[in-house]
Amino acid sequence: MKRIVVLGGGISGYGSAILAKKQGFDVFLSDAGRIAERFKCKLEEWDVPYEEGGHSVERIVAATEVIKSPGIPEKAPIVKALREKNIPIISEMEFASRYMGKARTICITGSNGKTTTTSLIYKIMSDAGVNVALGGNIGESFAYSVATGEYDWYVLELSSFQLDGMYRFRADVSVLMNITPDHLDRYDYCFQNYVDSKMRIAQNQNSRNHFVYCADDEVVWREVERLESNVRQLPFMAKSSVASGAGDAFLSSDGVFTASVGERSVEIDTAKMQIKGLHNAYNAMAAALATLAAGVDAESIVRSIYDFSPVEHRLEPVREVDGVLYVNDSKATNVDSVWYALESMTRPVVWIAGGTDKGNDYEPLKAFAREKVKALICMGLDNDKLVREFTGVVPQVVSTASLDEAMRVAVAVAQSGDVVLLSPACASFDLFKNYENRGELFKEWVRSNV
């Protein structure tokens, strides 16, 4: 009997273990940390053996195949031990795709915008009455959905870490939002390694599949020119002009875009959308193309896009008090996300940034910072780089070591007509559990203290 070991007991791991159990494999789950109670309950319900608080190395390296959770880096000792023994290591996505039957997939990746785009695509599909599940980085575990349900479509948000463990998987519709430097600490600080990881979204695609991508992104465009497959390309753009026989989407200067796939098209006036800014126009263009390719009715697509509200932790308005608007953009964990956040700001900005730096180059933010930011409040255990980069760029730079300290400074600095923007450009792990925890605490502080 095939021995499957699952590394990591989070949402990816527990789902993979349950699917492996359902498929009749000898399965064992191992987590070096603590497993959440809700996941342990599911594992016990399915009679999946597991351990937490450490790895039983001999049992793990006896596996036929290992499913690794995306948060576990290649440099982890247990992963190195498996590599030395040439034991195959795959992702939840690769494993679950083997058992999803005739279901089809829309897979979304990108350094920024993928959560909003994934959520919008799922809404369009769901509103149209499609039998669809949401998974990957958001929603339920893809593997758990495959194990416990029967769906016609899966909409999957994929990180570079998940793509790294995918080999034979082929998306029916792939969506690549953009590629900007991120997570370089996991890619030997080599940008091309990260680029190669993101481009795996289009691997194995053929002439029956669609590839939606941003033609305004120079890195993406360079990589698309190298593609050897005959996948049907669907570019979206606002700045460049790219002809594609399969279809495309173009945002005109009046804020209206037309998205076309074959003979079918939709027209969207971005002024009527609830989500604002150029980045959200890109997100909507990508979603329109992807769902047209999936066969959704054009009128339904238009209704859903106009009805879609902002995603939590992504330019999420919290409240306005005494003329000061507080905005939670905690999901902006890299420079490019903050670029789009600052680009969309129409008020003077009190900007809260900082956390665990991932090798960031802040140069692209400086033009917007000079134009729009009245004060930068650095929030982290090591703010030296931010202070150094923006001193002299914005009028006021303040270093703080906690959320409470940062917020008290923000309240003191902000005046009526300003926006206090939490848009960190960094990971959250120095002061918080994750970006969600950082965003929730920001919102809680604003609601309790302002």
Q: Say if residue 186 is in the same domain as residue 223.
A: yes
State whether 273 and 347 are in the same domain. Answer: no
Mean pLDDT over 106-112 rounds to 92
- SS in 3 state form for the chain? CCEEEEECCCHHHHHHHHHHHHCCCEEEEEECCCCCHHHHHHHHHCCCCEEECCCCHHHHCCCCEEEECCCCCCCCHHHHHHHHCCCCEECHHHHHHCCCCCCEEEEEECCCCHHHHHHHHHHHHHHCCCCEEEEECCCCCHHHHHHHCCCCEEEEECCHHHHHCCCCCCCCEEEECCCCCCCHHHCCCCHHHHHHHHHHHHCCCCCCCEEEEECCCHHHHHHHCCCCCCCEEEEEECCCCCCCCCEEEEECCCCEEEEEECCEEEEEEHHHCCCCCHHHHHHHHHHHHHHHHCCCCHHHHHHHHHHCCCCCCCCEEEEEECCEEEEECCCCCCHHHHHHHHHHCCCCEEEEECCECCCCCCHHHHHHHHHHEEEEEEECCCCHHHHHHHECCECCEEEECCHHHHHHHHHHHCCCCCEEEECCCCECCCCCCCHHHHHHHHHHHHHHHC
In this predicted structure, the answer to whether residue 448 has a pLDDT above a threshold of 80 is yes
Q: Does one domain contain both 155 and 298?
A: yes
Same domain, 294 and 360: no
Q: Is residue 301 part of a domain?
A: yes
Question: What local confidence, expressed as pLDDT, does residue 28 receive?
Answer: 97
Bridge partners (DSSP) of residue 377 are: 352, 398
* Residue 95 domain flag: no
Please check whether residue 342 lies inside any domain of the structure.
Answer: yes
Regarding whether 356 and 326 lie in a shared domain, the answer is: yes
* For residue 302, pLDDT beyond 80: yes
- The confidence score (pLDDT) of residue 346 equals 82
Rounded CA gap, 118 and 273, in Å? 16
What's the length of the chain?
450
CATH code, domain with 256: 3.40.1190.10
How far apart are the C-alpha atoms of 304 and 306, rounded to whole Å? 5
Q: In this structure, are 80 and 122 located in the same domain?
A: no
What distance in Å separates the CA atoms of residue 159 and residue 176, rounded to the nearest whole number? 11
Assigned token pair, 153: 């479509």
- For residues 135 and 260, membership in a common domain is answered with yes
Q: In which domain, by residue range, is 364 found?
A: 316-449
Q: Are residues 288 and 160 in the same domain?
A: yes
Is residue 138 within 8 A of residue 118, CB to CB? The reply is yes
Split at pLDDT 50, 70, 90, the class of 101 is: very high
Q: Is residue 86 part of a domain?
A: yes
Same domain, 246 and 369: no
What is the bridge-based pairing of β-strands 153-157 and 210-214?
A: unpaired
User: Could you count the other beta carbons within 10 Å of the beta carbon of residue 111?
Assistant: 24
Domain-located, residue 214: yes
Is there a single domain that holds both residue 341 and residue 443? Answer: yes
**CA–CA distance, 186 with 193 (Å, rounded to integer):** 9
CATH code: domain of residue 335: 3.90.190.20
Here the tokens at position 249 are: 């989407």
The pLDDT value given to residue 258: 96
Total tally of structural domains belonging to the chain: 3
30: domain CATH number? 3.40.50.720
Q: What percent of the chain has pLDDT above 70?
A: 99
Average pLDDT over residues 365-378: 95
The verdict on 35 and 137 lying in the same domain is no
Give residue 182's pLDDT band: very low, low, confident or very high (50, 70, 90): low
pLDDT at 183 over 70: no
Which of 256-270, 275-289, 327-341, 393-407 is predicted with the least confidence, judged by mean pLDDT? 327-341
Asked if residue 403 is part of any domain, the answer here is yes
- Among the candidates 269, 286, 307, a domain finishes at 307
Statement to judge: residues 181 and 86 lie in one domain: no
Q: How confident is the model at residue 433 (pLDDT cuts 50, 70, 90)?
A: confident
Rounded CA Rg of the chain: 22
Among 307, 342, 359, the domain boundary falls at: 307
Model pLDDT, residue 126: 97
* Percentage of the chain lying above the pLDDT 90 cut: 73
As a whole number of angstroms, the distance between CA 141 and CA 150 comes to 14
119 in a structural domain: yes
**Which segment of 128-142, 144-158, 189-203 scores lowest on mean pLDDT?**
189-203
- Among 90, 123, 149, the domain-final residue is 90
**22: in domain:** yes
